[in-house]
Amino acid sequence: MPLELLDPRNDFLFKRIFGSEENRDVLLAFLNRTFTESGQPPLREILLLNPYTDKDSPSDKQSILDIRARTTEGELINVEMQLFNRYDMEKRTLFYWSKQYGGQLVEGQSYASLKRCVTINIVNFALLPNALYHSVFHLREDRTGIPLTDDIEVHFLELPKLEAHTVDIKEGGLANWLLFLKGVDPNQWEVLTMNEPKLKKAMTALEFLSQDKKLRMEYEDRQKFLRDQASMMDAAKNAEIYGFKAGMAKGIEQGIEQGVQKGIEQGIEQGVQKGIEDTARRLLKMGLQPEEAAEATGLTLEQVERLRSEP
């Protein structure tokens, strides 16, 4: 009985398929489908900046298993797969884009040497308030649409939204690649690859890797970690809401007891702060890193570290 195919939406497996040197042509084909669908010319070649190696083993729980590449023109591309919603995805995207953009400069270089940076997020959840499965963002003037600069470009590929669209898979295109990632029935693979020869190579890689016992164990380890992280983030959001409501109630109660408007305001502020701090304490007990607890609650890292050091 053949082994069940692994899920290519797992970021470890995604990088193993698309981010290895032997599959650089697969990544190039996927990128070209992404770019041409948004009206851009195809790339001629790419250089992998962080190709998959054994060091990308999911034993490093906190590692970000993204794919970074450079075009022949020096432009930078970052591709990341997100299986679960980590929340604040838009801000997270801008934060990592800014690090990539600013990281190009070394001492003595001018701003003119900065190259365009493109971020491509493939997400397994609905994120944006539109029906598009492929959204592209640039920096433009609101009324005229004049670009300030094309140095920033952000793509969101939302896999769940594919279901609402009718696509002709016989014609080939980005949708075929996304259907493969989404886990379409292997019986449809032949049709998906009719006009996508490099997609067939990705499928072959998935079949081969699914039979690797050591890799399956690493994959399962990563899946467990991703699920645990998702549960923690959901718990953090729920705890934050609960803490806010509890803090509001406690603050109003304290304020009423004091009987003055100032007391109400101070009580609300103190109660809300206590609720947020209690949330951070719970997240730390659940195993989240201080940086993650700070991101989830809005506290500073110093505040979270102080809470962690409490007796």
Per-residue pLDDT tens for 24-48? 999 999 999 999 999 999 999 999 9
Residue 300 lies in a domain: yes
What per-residue confidence (pLDDT) applies to 229? 79
Residue type, 188: Q
Domain check: are 160 and 304 in the same one?
Answer: no
The count of other CB atoms within 10 Å of the CB of residue 162 is: 17
Q: Is the pLDDT of residue 225 over 70?
A: yes
Structure tokens at 285: 């007990």
157-212, pLDDT tens digit by residue? 999 999 867 777 888 899 999 999 999 999 999 999 999 999 999 999 999 999 99
The H or E element containing residue 242 is helix 213-258
Domain check: are 190 and 145 in the same one?
Answer: yes
Domain check: are 251 and 201 in the same one?
Answer: no
What per-residue confidence (pLDDT) applies to 183? 92
Domain check: are 23 and 86 in the same one?
Answer: yes
Residue 220 lies in a domain: no
What per-residue confidence (pLDDT) applies to 90? 94
Domain check: are 30 and 167 in the same one?
Answer: yes
What per-residue confidence (pLDDT) applies to 243? 63
Residue scoring higher pLDDT (261 or 293): 293
Domain check: are 196 and 297 in the same one?
Answer: no
The H or E element containing residue 274 is helix 261-285
Domain check: are 207 and 237 in the same one?
Answer: no
What per-residue confidence (pLDDT) applies to 226? 87
Q: By mean pLDDT, which of 30-39, 253-262, 298-307 is the weakest?
A: 253-262
Residue scoring higher pLDDT (272 or 188): 188
The total number of structural domains that make up the chain: 2
Q: In sequence order, what E strands does the chain have?
A: 46-48, 67-71, 76-82, 117-123, 134-140, 147-158
What per-residue confidence (pLDDT) applies to 29? 98
Question: Which residue among 163, 180, 211 closes a domain?
Answer: 211
> Residue 63 belongs to what domain range?
11-211
Domain check: are 129 and 97 in the same one?
Answer: yes
Domain check: are 168 and 257 in the same one?
Answer: no
Residue 33 lies in a domain: yes
Residue type, 72: T
**For residues 279-287, average pLDDT:** 79
What per-residue confidence (pLDDT) applies to 72? 96
Domain check: are 204 and 245 in the same one?
Answer: no
Q: Is 84 helix (H, G, I), strand (E, B) or coil?
A: coil
* pTM attached to this predicted model: 0.76
Domain check: are 70 and 118 in the same one?
Answer: yes
Residue 145 lies in a domain: yes
